[in-house]
Structure 1
Amino acid sequence: MPNRHHPENPGPELPTLPPRPAVELQRRGELRVEKFLEAATVIFNEKGYQAARLADIVKLAGGSMATLYRAFGDKVGLVHALMERSINQFGRSLDELSSSSLPPHEALEQAAYKMVEEILSPARIACHRVVIAEGMSQPELRDWFQAHGVTTMEILLSRYFAREHDAGRLHIEDPDLAARHFYMLVIGGVILRSVNGRMGADDVPLAQEQARSAVTLFLNGALPRT
């Protein structure tokens, strides 16, 4: 029977997704679109998703409501674009991990540092607050973020662990389970504390030191050595 965890295999399929919000995004590099996304980050973090008004975002960013609607469709489309950009930035750390030739401890530490830095960015905090606070009322956004922002990251981690296991550099019986454990151990607490306002961008050095400790604990365990 083929090993579904082997890096040469495609791995588990993404969950079936509801239709993505119908948006007509302009090119990411266009200044007005970026200003809208930056303003949305500020307003969502200050007021929350429900209380945030598109008029507040337009006032802060400049431009017009018509331009915002043309670029994003509506508030859901704006959040969707914010999530998509954050996921792309977060994914770079795991792309680098996938191609890293460093020993696992060094490679995982580097990936953890970058993961934590993105998790504590204002845009990512805004995304997590929407997903956690509005998940029941906005299931399409919640499920899309889970599939693309969490599940795909766990798949990349699982493939890395399977590769390192096959190479004899790690002993991991279930790469999928190990990926979920690593994800939550390294950044689960950071996500929770950033969403409730106890951590932010200024806390990146502290969070990275905690991530380094989490990587060590993940790799070495807590039992005494003989």
Structure 2
Amino acid sequence: MPNIDLILGSDHGRTRSVRTEPTQRRSTQRLDALLDAAAAIVDELGFERLTTQMVAERAGASIGTVYRYFPDRVAVLYALRERSVRRYRERLAEALDSAELAAWWDVVDCALDVCADLYRTEPGFTVIHAAPREASELDGEPEIAHRIAKVFAQDFGIVEDAEVRHRLGVALELGAALIHRAFERDAAGDERYLAESRRVVRDYLDQELSARIAASPAA
């Protein structure tokens, strides 16, 4: 199975926060327009100030149209986060599919680089840091940790178990927090914090997973 499938999984297109699932192209475009409007507001004012009325006005839609899809502002934010997560996975899958992955840290570097790039290019992406992480039903670890653990297992022979998923979850949380801070400090991303996100994550995983990494074929 290629990396793109490991990262996207079988449910990457699922949307859970939308009240009415769009079934036609026009409805899908209307939903995207509402989320685009919400993303612009989040970037300008912050997610705390977003309201459904603001979304309607920015999108040029009626408030009734907003409520057709979202019961309240919280649902709008969750849907925006779901879209951002989906686009992150899509971009990461593309990056891994085209990259030469010589070692396990190349996968982690890709994950961090794509996150930083989306802070620069994806409107409203900051909302991913404001809502609870998507956790796996299996063990409560971040879903992305499960997916990257599968890449580790397939490409580098690192056994995918609860300990690996836990350590990846911790490492990616550390990296995400530093990346978020980098863009709080500088709209273009504070390079010192971005560099530290890589160093901290790699050092942590080197220390915590050294036995498994040493035993892998890529070691």
TM-score tier by shorter-chain length is: 0.5 to 0.7
Alpha-carbon RMSD = 3.7
Percent identity between matched residues is 20
Please list, as runs of the form range in 1=range in 2, the aligned pairs for 1:70-89 lying within 5 A after superposition. 70-89=68-87
TM-score (norm. length: structure 2): 0.63
Task: Find 1:152's aligned residue among 129, 143, 146.
Answer: 143
Please state how far the C-alpha of 1:116 moved relative to its aligned partner.
Answer: 2.3
Q: Is the 8 A contact 1:109 1:211 kept in 2?
A: no
Indicate whether 1:103 and 2:102 are aligned.
yes
Aligned residue pairs, count: 183
Please state how far the C-alpha of 1:108 moved relative to its aligned partner.
Answer: 3.1
Please list, as runs of the form range in 1=range in 2, the aligned pairs for 1:108-187 lying within 5 A after superposition. 108-119=108-119, 121-129=122-130, 131=131, 142=132, 145-147=133-135, 151-163=142-154, 166=157, 174-187=163-176
TM-score (norm. length: structure 1): 0.61
Please list, as runs of the form range in 1=range in 2, the aligned pairs for 1:5-84 lying within 5 A after superposition. 21=17, 23-26=19-22, 30-49=28-47, 51-84=49-82
SS at match of 2:142: helix
The equivalent of 1:5 in structure 2 is none
The equivalent of 1:198 in structure 2 is 185
Q: Counterpart amino acid of 1:113?
A: D
The equivalent of 2:211 in structure 1 is none
SS at match of 1:102: coil
* Separation of aligned partners in 2, 1:44 and 1:85: 14
Unaligned runs of 5+ in 2: 1-15, 208-219
Q: Counterpart amino acid of 1:41?
A: A
Please state how far the C-alpha of 1:128 moved relative to its aligned partner.
Answer: 2.4
